Amino acid sequence: MKGCALKCRWCQNPESWKPYPELMTRDAKCILCRKCIDICPVDAITLGNNGCRNIDREKCKLCFECVDICPTGALTKVGECKTVEDIVGEIKKDELFYYRSGGGVTISGGEPLCQPSFTHKLLKACKERGYHTALDTCGFAPWSALERVLEYVDLVLYDIKHMDPKPHKEATGKSNALILRNVRKIPRHIKVWLRIPLVPGYNDSDENLRKIGELGREIGAEKVSILPFNRAGEEKYRSIGRQSPMAEIEPPSKKRIHEVQKFIENFGLRVTVGE
């Protein structure tokens, strides 16, 4: 789902922040044919002195005429409007795989709870077909929205960025108070996996990890997933006309990741890395 209330500085999917389609570039595919320049109705696309195509994102009206005419896919539209029936039709193609593997359907984003009514209808349709369902969420939404969606959820993948509200707000734009209240309200019959984006110098202190371990034990989390920070999303920022805010941060070492895993396991929790 496109759209997210948080703006995490380490986000690997910045193209999922806004709740509408966006223009994404793949400059390596550009052959400088100038077709996009000629067709743009607001002159947002120009050829710079460096010989490269430039896009003025402030001028761009997201009409996507340039995408339609681009012969190489150097300009693409990220995000589409779909109905529940459209998505279920795609899901059904892998139906046999779900049954044989024991897997199912995960609704992710962005943040699915930014579109709670649609997410509720989609999950309901999945359960009616007998699919196992999972919700991947940051938990920043009114409890009424989350509670309604949970009616058709078997597993919640719940992000915990930081246990302290101040650094949480500094790095995501929002306090974690609502997030922590919501995770404590999830009924015990629904499995919960806490997910930690492990960012060196931000949330990897023993004090913060201790609080996460205590939270996991308190709510009876089935496991904790450590997701080490990496730079895989940096190219995406360039492709949508933004700068990565975490370019100066180094990914955690294998040694530190192992230490964090063992630290949280001491709270009686199952801990995995990267899943």
Cα 3 off chain centre by: 9
DSSP 3-state assignment of 273? strand
Secondary structure letter of residue 28 according to DSSP: G
Whether residue 88 contacts residue 125, with contact meaning beta carbons closer than 8 Å, is answered with yes
Residues of the chain with CATH 3.20.20.70: 82-273
Query: Which token pair is 61?
Result: 């009206």
Of residues 141 and 249, the one with the higher pLDDT is 141
Checking if the pLDDT of 247 tops 80, the result is no
d(CA 193, CA 159): 8
Average pLDDT over residues 133-138: 98
The pLDDT score that the predictor gives to residue 245 is 84
Q: Read off the pLDDT band of 49 (50, 70, 90).
A: confident
Checking if the pLDDT of 168 tops 80, the result is yes
The pLDDT score that the predictor gives to residue 215 is 98
Owner of token pair 């009424």: 144
Residue range 58-75, pLDDT digits in tens: 999 999 999 999 999 999
Smallest CA-to-CA distance from 26 within 76, 74, 78 is with 74
Q: Read off the pLDDT band of 233 (50, 70, 90).
A: confident
**Predicted TM-score of the model (pTM):** 0.92
Average pLDDT over residues 204-226: 98
The pLDDT score that the predictor gives to residue 189 is 96
Domain spanning 21-78, CATH architecture: 2-Layer Sandwich (3.30)
Mean pLDDT of the chain: 95
Residue range 142-160, pLDDT digits in tens: 999 999 999 999 999 999 9
Residues of the chain with CATH 3.30.70.20: 21-78
Whether residue 238 contacts residue 170, with contact meaning beta carbons closer than 8 Å, is answered with no
First-to-last CA distance in the chain?
Answer: 20
The pLDDT score that the predictor gives to residue 240 is 93
Checking if the pLDDT of 244 tops 90, the result is no
Residue range 60-116, pLDDT digits in tens: 999 999 999 999 999 999 999 999 999 999 999 999 998 888 899 999 999 999 999
Residue range 178-200, pLDDT digits in tens: 999 999 999 999 999 999 999 99
Checking if the pLDDT of 125 tops 90, the result is yes
Domain spanning 82-273, CATH architecture: Alpha-Beta Barrel (3.20)
Residue range 199-213, pLDDT digits in tens: 999 999 999 999 999
